[in-house]
């Protein structure tokens, strides 16, 4: 059984591919970002964090997620 949120790399011949899941759209965006950081070899530091707001515009959630 999968946890409520997360990501995992999927085999792909040319590019990176992630499978991402979360209970809501903001969580899906967060897991997408975390997955791309992991595939890039970057590590998120522990401790204090900065917060940023973003605006996404698209015809539907899928197009917003793609733009993200």
Tens digits of residue pLDDT in 28-54? 999 999 998 888 888 877 888 788 888
| pLDDT, mean over the chain | 86
Dist CA 57 CA 31 (whole Å): 19
Q: What is the pLDDT of residue 24?
A: 94
What pLDDT score was predicted for residue 37? 87
Element spanning 50, H or E: none
Contact 11, 22 (CB under 8 A): no
pLDDT band for 11, please (50, 70, 90 cuts).
Answer: confident
Confidence (pLDDT) at 22: 95
**Contact between residue 13 and residue 2 where contact means Cβ atoms under 8 Å apart:** no
């Amino acid at each position: 059984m999968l946890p409520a949120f997360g990501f995992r790399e999927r085999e792909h011949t040319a590019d990176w591919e992630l499978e991402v899941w979360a209970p809501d759209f903001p969580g899906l965006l967060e897991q997408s970002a975390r997955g791309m950081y992991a595939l890039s070899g970057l590590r998120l530091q522990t401790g204090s964090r900065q917060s940023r707001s973003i605006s996404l515009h698209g015809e539907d959630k899928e197009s917003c997620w793609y733009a993200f």
